[in-house]
Amino acid sequence: MDVDGEGFEWALPHDDWAEPSEGTDRDVRVVVAGIPLEVRDGFLYDRVPFARFAHEPGLPGELERMRSADPAAAREAREAVGSAMFHQGCRFPAGALAVPFLLRIAADPSTHDRFSVLRLCALAARRDFWDDGSRPGLLRVAYADDDVRFASDGSVQNWSIRATRDAVAADADVVIGLLEDSDPPVREMAAYALAAASGRTREISAALHERLRIEDDARVRACLVLAIAQLAHEHDPDATVAWARALWSDPTGPAEVRVSAALGWLCLVDDPAPDALRAVIEESVTPELHRLLSPTLWMRQVEDTGVDGLSHTLWQMLDPDTWPGPAPEPVF
């Protein structure tokens, strides 16, 4: 196993490892799939084997403390939960176990900073993004099956990510309900979380489309378009290509919708960028649009030193011959 000087473990060739825990009660995918609805709805933490997977003790207590009426206590607990879920780009299995409860905590209107609670779920359902230089990379959710990634605790990140995606799919109705939330950042993060779901894709896609038809917040509209494209990229690209093209081709559409649809379309097809699409980008990408889209996690995940995420993505997709390529993976 290759380990750098700080103890951080990176990818291993698929034929260099054998995992006897696969499919057993030490496989977090199996455990998450077996958490009953009454346990999730009742916050019955003691019926979930956190201690089997957590590298930090006390995760159930911190999850419960996130429901505190005291905003400072809730924030401290959220930070503690985040530390148990992520470290130096790793996704840990305990995070997947926490997600069913986090989704319900985020759905509770009395919870403090629900956007950040949902963000934990959405990030745990995705690979740590290092730009791979390909157009589809913007919408790729997980590592490939033959690209096995180990976390610093020795767990298989591929399993943790898949278990989290399965958890989001299992509780898709909870997250779909948040698309109707009165707080735009919550709606934005709900779309980002749903785009990573491993199943129930027709139901989720229909809900995203329905919300897009009535959404009045520009940033959320852009996120809904990207979420629909990402879900399609993972499950059924062909069904969304014509829809995305119709959106970016519509001269009456809002700029954020046209540009997001153009990016989605470029990720879903192998065709060269047509002149009409380039014209849409040139006309629509203004400083105001940069300010609107830059905070979204789709753009933040590809930010590079000195280049904001939207500029980086457009450069890579529209002018790949001059794009310098992906930055080297970080050394911690």
**What is the pLDDT tens value at each position of the chain, 332 positions in all?**
333 333 334 444 444 444 668 888 989 999 999 999 999 999 999 999 999 987 777 999 999 999 999 999 999 999 999 999 998 888 999 999 999 999 999 999 999 999 999 999 999 999 877 556 678 888 889 888 888 888 888 899 999 999 999 999 999 999 999 999 999 999 999 999 999 999 999 999 999 999 999 999 999 999 999 999 999 998 988 889 999 999 999 999 999 999 999 999 999 999 999 999 999 999 999 999 999 998 899 888 776 655 678 888 888 788 877 655 555 443 33
What pLDDT sits at residue 145? 82
How far apart, in whole angstroms, are the C-alpha atoms of residue 22 and residue 260? 38
- β-partners of residue 90 are 87
User: Do the beta carbons of residue 289 and residue 96 sit within 8 Å?
Assistant: no
In terms of residue numbers, what domain contains 118? 11-170
The SS3 of residue 156 is: strand
Q: Are residues 120 and 197 in the same domain?
A: no
CB atoms within 10 A of CB 288: 11
What pLDDT sits at residue 29? 96
DSSP calls for 203-252: HHHHHHHHHHHH---HHHHHHHHHHHHHHHHHH-THHHHHHHHHHHH-TT
Helix ranges, the chain (H): 28-33, 37-42, 50-53, 59-65, 71-85, 93-107, 114-124, 157-170, 172-177, 184-194, 201-214, 218-235, 238-249, 255-268, 275-284, 287-293, 297-300, 309-318
Q: Are residues 188 and 51 in the same domain?
A: no
What pLDDT sits at residue 21? 84
DSSP classification of residue 179: G
Q: Are residues 303 and 272 in the same domain?
A: yes
Q: Are residues 161 and 22 in the same domain?
A: yes
Is residue 135 one of the residues assigned to a domain? yes
CB atoms within 10 A of CB 301: 18
What pLDDT sits at residue 14? 41
What pLDDT sits at residue 19? 61
What pLDDT sits at residue 88? 80
Is residue 3 one of the residues assigned to a domain? no
Cα-to-chain-centroid distance, residue 282: 28
Q: Are residues 100 and 247 in the same domain?
A: no
Q: Are residues 124 and 220 in the same domain?
A: no
Considering the entire predicted model, what is its pTM? 0.89
What pLDDT sits at residue 1? 30
Q: Are residues 16 and 161 in the same domain?
A: yes
Q: Are residues 320 and 205 in the same domain?
A: yes
What is the total count of domains within the chain? 2
The SS3 of residue 92 is: coil
* Among 111, 141, 170, residue at a domain's last position: 170
